[in-house]
Amino acid sequence: MDIAIILLVMDLFGNMICMYQHRDDIEGPISLKPDGMTDQEPTIADMKMLIRSGLRCPYCENPTQLVNSETIYGAGRDYGRKFYLCAPCQAWVGCHKGTNKALGRLANEQLRKLKIEAHACLDSLWRRKVDRGALWSEARSAAYRWLSTAMNIHPDECHIGMFGPEDCRRVIDLCLPYLK
């Protein structure tokens, strides 16, 4: 049987990518799972991409739900943003306003608190430069360049929204000496 498989997947930056694979060794029907994956087990790279895009929970690896902010914050508290939610794990991540693009990876309560603390520490550093007259965008970019160098990670991977607990703790530890 001569079959072509076309999958639409989301890359780390929320862009849809069309993946085309020509297969002539498949017999019988091919079914696609709801998240666009084939019936074959996802690779580690696939799971990493799905977790970073908010489509899979990093705790249980199950697919997430796209919900509105009332689901997260309660009835009457719709802030016009969407979230990816894993209800069993009580983990979620917000989306960029007006899109389905996740701001980072899903976070449970512990990780949400660490991300808030890590952002507070790093933001305090670059805001000091703004207070001294630097442009907001330049000060923030410089802070993330410094952080990527200090953490020895590529600048494209240096986003607190994508960090797990260990990396958030590293951000806090790296920033604290400069905040005293």
- Tens digit of pLDDT at every position of the chain (180 positions): 333 333 344 444 444 443 333 334 434 333 334 445 555 677 777 778 888 888 999 999 999 999 999 999 988 888 889 999 999 999 999 999 999 999 999 999 999 999 999 999 999 999 999 999 999 999 999 999 999 999 999 999 999 999 999 999 999 999 999 998
pTM over 0.75: no
Paired with 6 in beta bridges are 20
Q: Is 8 found in the same domain as 44? A: yes
Instruction: With beta carbons less than 8 A apart as the criterion, state whether 102 and 84 touch.
Output: yes
Q: Could you list the residue range(s) of the whole structural domain that residue 125 is in?
A: 109-179
Instruction: Return d(Cα 146, Cα 143) in angstroms, integer.
Output: 5
Asked, for residue 156, whether it belongs to a domain, the answer is yes
Asked, for residue 99, whether it belongs to a domain, the answer is no
Nearest residue to 151 (alpha-carbon basis) of 136, 168, 127: 168
Q: Is 174 found in the same domain as 124? A: yes
Q: Report the relative pairing of strands 16-23 and 3-10 from DSSP bridges.
A: antiparallel
